Amino acid sequence: MTIKYPNGQPFEPSRSTKNDIKRPNQGHRGMSLESELNQANQFYLQNGLANIHKKPTPIQIVNVEYPKRSAAKITEAYFRQASTTDYNGIYQGRYLDFDAKETANQTSFPLSNVHQHQIDHLDDIKRLGGLSFFIIRFTKRNETYLIDSSLLITYWKNRQENRKSVPYTEIVEQGILIPTGLRPSLPYLNAVDQLIAIH
């Protein structure tokens, strides 16, 4: 059967439509990891499951112009301090603190994506009894993992004499795969439940 547009032209499915039909796990396509986490956090908050938010980046405003009386335009600003991690909040009485990272690398997660102050911060959260972790997305594999911060902390501390990345195979073995969901599309608290169970 041929389907035609009102103008008589035949309808031909685009390549992306065909691929979407063949490959059901396309939930992450077209959305950044941060967008999905923000949506998930909104869903969790609205349903009374958790209170987790993206941390604002502290900036120092230096110069402001007022092109109109009702509008101000920031023309110069600086980061006040290095930010620690992306997200923090409360879930099941536990304090959560984590960072979200994306990489196009398929064989490893480069440690160049992480900074010393983030490692120090997450190490301190863990020492004080909170849950600290990373959510890492391998964009080309369309896979997202939750990994306990201790794995990255270990690799970070050994990076001078060891490799400068965490192997993908190690993340698969030590991490928790976050499968695609519907509402939310990234149900990462299921992985947090598994992390809590082993702590």
* Residue set of the binding site for Mg(2+): 84, 86, 99, 118
Dihedral pair phi/psi, residue 119, rounded to 5°: -60, -45
* Among 41, 61, 12, CA closest to 192: 41
Distances (CA, A) of 193 to 29, 85, 96, 119, 148: 25, 20, 12, 23, 12
CA distance 175 to 195: 9
Binding residue positions = 84, 86, 99, 118
